[in-house]
Amino acid sequence: MSSLLALLSKDLLLEWRERARSLSVLLFAVVTLLLFSFALGPDVETLREATPGVLVLALLLSSTLALNESFRLEREDRALEGLVMRPVSLTALFYAKASANALLLTFLGPVVVALAVVFYSLEIDVATMTRLVGLWCLGAAGLAAPGTLYAAMTSRLKSQDVALPLLLFPLVVPVLLASVKAMGLVLTGDAMNQLRSWLTLLLAFDIIYWSVCGLLFRFAVEEGE
């Protein structure tokens, strides 16, 4: 537990030191928003309807960038091997890394949601925005756990930029689907009280991914790293 906190604070400190890099992740998310507004045309109505999907896609695309980065640090001077030698529990390593990634993506939430409100002229109040950000965070958590697991593997590969999205995207479909639906309900109103169900589904998948990926991480990185 103490090593988990030590690793997490290390990751966050490094993230802060390399602000420019975290910022590029944010920039990427913002560019995604812009691109979609070009793609879907100037029709405000269309943009509003597409907002949940666009938000989740922005999250998904920026997450691969962040995940690839997060293990580049560990591979640069083979620091991961040093951690394994110390020896640090790989389970602690996973949860620290996944939490750091989830936190980084979480911080994007308020900014991206606020920008979406401006770009897509959404007329929503602060409470709705907060709920959107909350859903963004749950989605981010659902991406971070399997993302960290797969990034640990693909970070060893030359083709990691292609490999990670290829493997990760289909995997997180349930999380994406639940996030999009829940965001849509938050935005357009929840006439039939479905929000709770989608939220439960999202939470359940967060839990499943965090526990299963935590168990598997030790096999994704091991000795010889």
Structure tokens at 152: 């640990």
118 vs 191, beta carbon nearer another protein = 191
The window from 29-37, 62-70, 113-121, 217-225 that contacts another protein (CB under 8 A) reads 217-225
3-state secondary structure of 77: coil
Q: Is 71 in the site for another protein (CB under 8 A)?
A: no
Output the CA angle 20-70-170, nearest 5 degrees: 115
Q: Torsion over CA of 185, 188, 189 and 193, rounded to 10 degrees?
A: -30
17 is a site residue for another protein (CB under 8 A): yes
Phi-psi region of 41 (alpha: psi -120 to 50; beta: other; left: phi over 0): left
Q: Residue 65 — φ and ψ, nearest 5°?
A: -60, -50
3-state secondary structure of 158: coil
**13 or 34: whose CB is closer to another protein?**
13
Residue window 165-184: x/- pattern of binding to another protein, with contact defined by CB under 8 A: -xx--xx-xx------x---
**Residue 83 interacts with another protein (CB under 8 A)?**
yes
Instruction: Establish whether the linkage from the previous residue to 87 is cis, with ω within 30° of 0.
Output: yes
**100 to 139: interface string for another protein, x by CB under 8 A:** ----------------------------------------
Cβ atoms 151, 113 nearer than 8 A: no
Contact positions vs another protein (CB under 8 A): 2-3, 6-7, 10, 13-14, 17-18, 49, 73, 76-79, 81-88, 91, 146, 149-150, 153-154, 156-157, 159, 163, 166-167, 170-171, 173-174, 181, 188-189, 191-194, 196-198, 200-201, 204-205, 207-209, 211-216, 219-220, 222-225
